[in-house]
Amino acid sequence: MRSRKVLLVIGFLITWTYVTYYILLRSTGTHMTYFQKQKLVHLGDQAREQSQHSRNLNRNVIEFLKIKYLEHTQQQISSTTPRISIVAAEISNELVDQQQQEQIGEEDPSKSRKIPTQTYLSNGEPVIPILVFSCNRITVKKCLDNLVQYRPSVEQFPIIVSQDCGDEPTKEVILSYGNQLTLIEQPDLSDIRVLPKEKKFKGYYKIARHYGWALNTTFQVGFEFVIIVEDDLNVAPDFFEYFLGTHKLLKQDSSLWCVSAWNDNGKAAVVDASRPELLYRTDFFPGLGWMLTRDLWSELSVKWPKSFWDDWIRHPQQRKERSCIRPEISRTRTFGKIGVSNGLFFDKYLKHIKLSEDFVRFSKINMTYLLKDNYDNTFLRQVYTYPIVTYDELRRNLIAADGPVRIQYTTRDQYKRMTRLLGLMDDFKSGVPRTAYHGIVSFYYNKRRVHLAPNANWKGYDLSWS
């Protein structure tokens, strides 16, 4: 992509040079004043200079492509990578200058950044913006179509699309929604300098920079809550209702720090399709369509990391034993395959996550069961009253009694083996299994609620489990 841009620039320079020469040659035959001749000489010098410049650029590009090609054919990655970086840096520096000039020319503060400033409705309910993160995928349209279609109130849920990367086709798609949304553009498109061995992670650095800027910009308006959506997410019909029903929990319960629309174990085979209203607490930060408060952002924004913000946020230093709310059936689903994270994982796992199709009036449901004291008194206590079964008994339906059951694990390896058998996610972040609450992973299997749970005398997450 970048090399095509560079070639275009070179093509333009070369054409310009020849046109200049041509005009000069044609006009030397006619009469000229001394002053005109001087001017022509000067122009000729400039043209030669530009031509030299474009030849240099040309050489750089050819060298770049050569090295790149050799890298692919001969796999001499270790020896050629530094050279690629140097040549690429030379080229990209020129492009960055150009981009910045274009931006200065275009800067029009009245055009972007007119985020709606109303933070509460007249009935006292909070205005909750949906902050959509976009870069260069025109498929952001699929995400925006959903949001616009299901949005119950334009006033209460302003859509703010924050674009990084400066990609024009994507920007056009976003702008085509007119006043249905607000576009803000991440202003710092400069390259991020990383260690050579981190080069392949550069995308994660840019994402973290983008998140930091966009959240700061949005919360500065004074909103109490913001919902974050990435450009590759479809949302469910009751996506807005879900957050409308749960946002108060974040204020009431300081042991909660997010509401997420995502169930990491949300594959159709392991959720109870008849319970779309069912919600859980989880110690695992799910992301992928989530809400946070202004207070949390002021806590995190001052130490926001330069990369891998999602792993960082899951670390005990950030999490501080707080939990999120997550649904039994996901209210988001990712359709993005090409992106920073890998496609293999998408095919194997993400594409099987079930997106809820029911419409649950969450705002009319009594949510107090999710507050920590209530939840720990009922959920935690109940789990340890359920009978312990083995995987084999569960799979072969050999359990006499109806009702929920428990499968016990004590070691990391037991946990890994069991989740693989059951078709659940088997990984940990900062020692926390996906969807776990107090180590308990709850799912649905063979028409039965199952809790994969540690011993009753569980001592907390072990950071060394990964």
Ligand X SMILES: *[C@@H]1O[C@H](CO)[C@@H](O)[C@H](O)[C@H]1NC(C)=O
Sequence-distant (6+) residues with CB within 8 A of 24 are: 40, 43, 44, 47
Binding mask 186-215 for ligand X (x = CB under 6 A): --------------------------xx--
Options 310, 376, 426, 462, the catalytic residue? 310
Interface with ligand X, residue 136, by CB under 6 A: no
CB of 375 to ligand X, least distance (A): 11
Between residue 138 and residue 177, which ones bind ligand X under the rule CB under 6 A? none
Burial of 413 (0-12, 13-18, 19+ CB in 10 A): exposed
Select from 310, 304, 301 the least CA-distant residue to 341. 310
CB of 302 to ligand X, least distance (A): 5
Between residue 77 and residue 116, which ones bind ligand X under the rule CB under 6 A? none
Interface with ligand X, residue 217, by CB under 6 A: no
CB of 326 to ligand X, least distance (A): 20
CB of 367 to ligand X, least distance (A): 8
CB of 32 to ligand X, least distance (A): 59
Interface with ligand X, residue 366, by CB under 6 A: yes
Sequence-distant (6+) residues with CB within 8 A of 362 are: 238, 241, 242, 244, 245, 246, 277
Sequence-distant (6+) residues with CB within 8 A of 199 are: 81, 85
Residue whose CB is nearest to ligand X in the complex, by number: 212
In angstroms and rounded to an integer, the radius of gyration of the C-alpha atoms of the chain is: 28
133 near 211, Cβ under 8 Å? Answer: yes
Interface with ligand X, residue 364, by CB under 6 A: no
Q: Total binding residues for ligand X by CB under 6 A?
A: 9
Interface with ligand X, residue 304, by CB under 6 A: yes
Among 176, 368, 411, 466, which residue interacts with ligand X (rule: CB under 6 A)? Answer: 368
Sequence-distant (6+) residues with CB within 8 A of 239 are: 146, 147, 150, 261, 289, 331, 332
Sequence-distant (6+) residues with CB within 8 A of 395 are: 421, 446
Binding mask 24-63 for ligand X (x = CB under 6 A): ----------------------------------------
Count of C-beta atoms within a 10 Å radius of residue 250: 22
310 catalytic? Reply is yes
Among 28, 38, 216, 342, which residue interacts with ligand X (rule: CB under 6 A)? Answer: 216
CB of 460 to ligand X, least distance (A): 28
Select from 219, 169, 168, 211 the least CA-distant residue to 186. 211
Among 369, 381, 387, 455, which residue interacts with ligand X (rule: CB under 6 A)? Answer: 369
Q: Toward ligand X, which CB reaches closer, 368 or 446?
A: 368
> 82 to each of 109, 199, 203, how far by Cα in Å?
40, 10, 18
DSSP lists the bridge partners of residue 353 as 267
Interface with ligand X, residue 262, by CB under 6 A: no
Chain residues binding ligand X by CB under 6 A are: 212-213, 216, 301-302, 304, 366, 368-369
User: Catalytic amino acids?
Assistant: 310
